[in-house]
Structure formats: C-alpha cells, structure tokens
Amino acid sequence: MAIDIEKANAKVVERFMEARPVATTLAKAIEVVPGFHENMLLHAGPPVTWERMSGPMKGAMIGALIFEGKAKSAEEAEKMLSGGKIEFSPNHEHMCTGPMAGVISPSMLVYEIENKTHGIKCFSNLNEGRGKVLRMGAYSQDVLDKLSWMETTLGPTVKAALEAMGGIDIRAILSKAMHMGDDGHNRLDAASVLWTTQLAPWIAKTAKNTDTAFEVIKFLGENALSILNPVMAGCKTMTAAGHNVEGSTIVTIMARNGTDWGIKVSGLGDQWFTAQSPIVKSLYFPGFTEADACRDIGDSVITETAGIGGFAMANSP
C-alpha cells in the first residue's frame, strides 16, 4: 500500500503542536537517564570517537572525568578517554540534550522535562552561564568549582522550588517570550526573566537559608541563558512525540558535535544521517579568524527542529 507522506507529516506536526513540556524536577543523571552507566559520558551531536572529537569536546570530556573524581589530572583523564575505558554516547540516544559540547556525566544533576500530552520525559543539564565553562571545553579549577556549586547548591535549590510549585510550563513561557523579542535559542533574555520570576518566590520559600536563596536567585537572574537547557529538553519532548511515524519525511533531531552534523528523520527510525559540521560565519574576537574556530557544535538546534530559534530570529533584536 502506498504511503501518504503528506498525511504522515501532518500527523508529526500535530504531535509537535499538541505537546506541553513542563519542567518538573531535577535528579542525578545516573538515576533517571535511560541507558546511562558509571563509565559513560554523554555528548552533543551524533556518535563520535575520541580520535575525531573537536578540541572543545575533548576538553569537556576531560573536565567531566575530573569532576567525577575518576581522574586527578588532565593527563590521567586523557589516557582513560583515549584508552577505551569510557564509553561515549550521544545525548539524543538517551532522551537528553546539552548545549555546545553538551557533556553530561553520571553525577550531574539534570532537569526532568515531561511532555504532559504524550507522557515523554527528556533531560538536560544545568546551564553554567557565559564565559569560561565546561560546555566550551574549559576545565580549570574555577570551572570545576562552579560545577560543584551547581551540584550542591543551585541544583538542589531549584529542584525543591520546582517540586513545591508543581513545575513550570515551558511552552507557556516561550509563547510569552517570543512576543518579547526572544527567538527561543540564541536570545532567551525574556524567557530567562520569566523563568526566574516564577522560581524566585518558591526558592525564597524552600531554600535552606536566605543566603542560599539570594545566591541562587542572583545567579539565575544574571544568566540570560538560564532557561536554555530546559527549553532544549522541552523541544526534544515535542520532536520525540513526532518520531517514528511511518512515511514522514520531517526531521525530528538535528545535532552537532564539532566534527559532524547529524539528523534523524521521523519515518526512518534510529538511523543517523551525517555530514561534516560547517564553520560558522560570524564575528570573531580581535586576532582570531575562521581558521581558529571549532566546527559547529551542540544539541541546541533541537530548538530549530521544533520550529523556533533561527526560524524566529527576524523577530529577535
């Protein structure tokens, strides 16, 4: 029997549009991410070997092993990573997303985002803010110290607030924010303010003390990307609802790892289709050119996969 592609694609779009992603809680990745284990690191993009990883990806892998306490130095971590002692797996294979290098290690706290319409759960790590961060490949002591603070203070505080308030509707925030100049990907200033505004009273109510509440609210308020990771996981719950529809030609995953760009198509199951990731045409800091750049990297194009981000950029100042 002939497959009606238009009908299949309409079904996928319908599932995208009826999805309602809600941020419900946080948990340790090893406890909630499907298929995760102690000697595995998750990463952005399609599958990639250590030998083919970009510099930022390798740096994030090294930092994650040191953060986990599995290595005491970059040299020790690199030996483990290049020697086959650690398994690498794409975030998307485990219902996760992560910006830039997107590395998620077992003990990291992850947001749990549930598509209430379809019962699909997806996960993403906490956002570190701008500057020198693990997702860009940095692993100096100040980067590791921030990750530890996120594990012991930021994450548990946001978790308690989310659970007390009954979760935050990600789609509702995006709907408002995109009328306030956001594109849902590169510019999330309004969405992050709305996110922090909803969290703040509940952080004040549930935090272990006022100093912790102040510290966490200040960090969230100063980070214009604080909602990026929940948005990414929310978009994945939408596109996952439209995956595996027979005959559909709609792309349900786009992702890059700094080496390859990969996609998955709804009607073609779990097969990755990959090509070389491009060099981004952009402005560079003085003294740097495209020759210094990493190829495009990150799972954040799941926002474009869901129909926002670059497709809404004309709306975004």
Task: Quote the domain boundaries for residue 12.
Answer: 5-315
Strands (E), 44-173: 87-90, 96-97, 109-115, 120-125, 168-169
* Tens-binned pLDDT, residue by residue, of the chain (317 aa): 688 999 999 999 999 999 999 999 999 999 999 999 999 999 999 999 999 999 999 999 999 999 999 999 999 999 999 999 999 999 999 999 999 999 999 999 999 999 999 999 999 999 999 999 999 999 999 999 999 999 999 999 999 999 999 999 999 999 999 999 999 999 999 999 999 999 999 999 999 999 999 999 999 999 999 999 999 999 999 999 999 999 999 999 999 999 999 999 999 999 999 999 999 888 898 999 999 999 999 999 999 999 999 999 888 87
Q: What is the count of structural domains for the chain?
A: 1
CATH of the domain at 226: 3.90.1710.10
C-beta neighbour count of 147 within 10 angstroms: 25
Cβ within 8 Å of residue 217, ≥6 positions away: 196, 199, 200, 203, 204
